[in-house]
Amino acid sequence: MAASRRAGSSRRGAVDRLTGWREVLQGAGLPDDAVEIGDFAVAGGAAAMERILAAHPDVDGLFVASDLMAEGALRVLAAHGRDVPRDVSVVGFDNLATAASTVPPLTTVQNPMVEMVRGATDLLLDLVGGRGDEIASQVLSPALVERDSV
């Protein structure tokens, strides 16, 4: 399930997550056509899950672009009698507080927020202080927070 927002940076994050998902599936020789767009909210995740089940009733794994959408997907799967993780594995993204309290607790991906904020702050201070005139790209590795949904 992909997510999209109209705001620039949020939309960019959603596009990056979708791109990464597609690259991994294609690299493994798997199809990448089971995508639905959501809005980073519980209701959007639930609606997208309904559409996925209608189009792909045999779905057995989900990567959801936000934990809130994953929460909505979990609710829909339960309503359809699908057991998580026995029938469908679900992985969210963000490691929000809600991820630990969903049923079952959600496996999720966590970005290194402290390092991201530190890097952005250092860059801003360098630019404001005249110590840098170009923005260097930095890639930080996320971590998988394993819980009971896979």
Residue type, 106: L
Say whether pLDDT at 9 is over 60: no
Contact 75, 102 (CB under 8 A): no
Q: What is the pLDDT of residue 68?
A: 97
The answer to whether the pTM exceeds 0.75 is yes
> By CB neighbour count within 10 A (0-12 exposed, 13-18 middle, 19+ buried), where does 109 fall?
buried
Structure tokens at 20: 């990464």
Q: 133 pLDDT band (50/70/90 cuts)?
A: low
Q: What is the pLDDT of residue 124?
A: 86
Question: What are the beta bridge partners of residue 149?
Answer: none
Q: 110 pLDDT band (50/70/90 cuts)?
A: very high
The residue with greater pLDDT, 116 or 77, is 77
If one counts every other C-beta atom within 10 angstroms of the C-beta of residue 121, the result is 10
Alpha helices in the chain (DSSP H): 8-27, 42-55, 67-79, 113-128
End-to-end CA distance of the chain: 16
Percent of the chain at pLDDT > 70 equals 92
- Mean pLDDT, to the nearest integer, of 6-34? 83
10-112: CATH number: 3.40.50.2300
